Amino acid sequence: MKLLIHDSEEMVKTIEMVQNIVRGVKPLLAGHSPAVQSAALADLLSMWLAAHPDFMREDLLQGYVELTRKLIPLTEKELFSGRGHPNNTGGN
């Protein structure tokens, strides 16, 4: 899955939309256990995938996982003031 962004103006609009959605979802997840957060995110992901034909789902899911993996280090730095998670062991 690749974001099909054709110019910088479109990219800015896409980033703003994503940030607005994330700002809306974060408070709904905050304070819940990892199991509840995971189940809620899995439910949303399954809705997104189910809205596409079955022949597209594997590629979409692989792209989603790839994007998520790329975002983890950036998000971790934001959450922990650039230091990384305090319980990291040096692995992935």
Structural contact between residues 31 and 40, judged by C-beta atoms closer than 8 angstroms: no
* 62 lies in some domain: yes
When pLDDT is cut at 50, 70 and 90, the band that residue 7 belongs to is: confident
* 58 lies in some domain: yes
The two counts, helices (H) then strands (E), for the chain are: 3, 0
* 75 lies in some domain: yes
Owning domain of residue 71: 53-85
pLDDT in tens, 58-91: 999 999 999 999 999 999 998 898 888 899 887 6
The number of distinct structural domains making up the chain is: 1
**pTM of the predicted model, to two decimals?**
0.79
* 17 lies in some domain: no
pLDDT in tens, 21-69: 999 999 999 999 999 999 999 999 999 999 999 999 999 999 999 999 9
* 14 lies in some domain: no
Quick check: 1 pLDDT over 50? no
* 23 lies in some domain: no
* 81 lies in some domain: yes
Distances (CA, A) of 22 to 7, 17, 45, 85, 91: 23, 9, 14, 21, 27
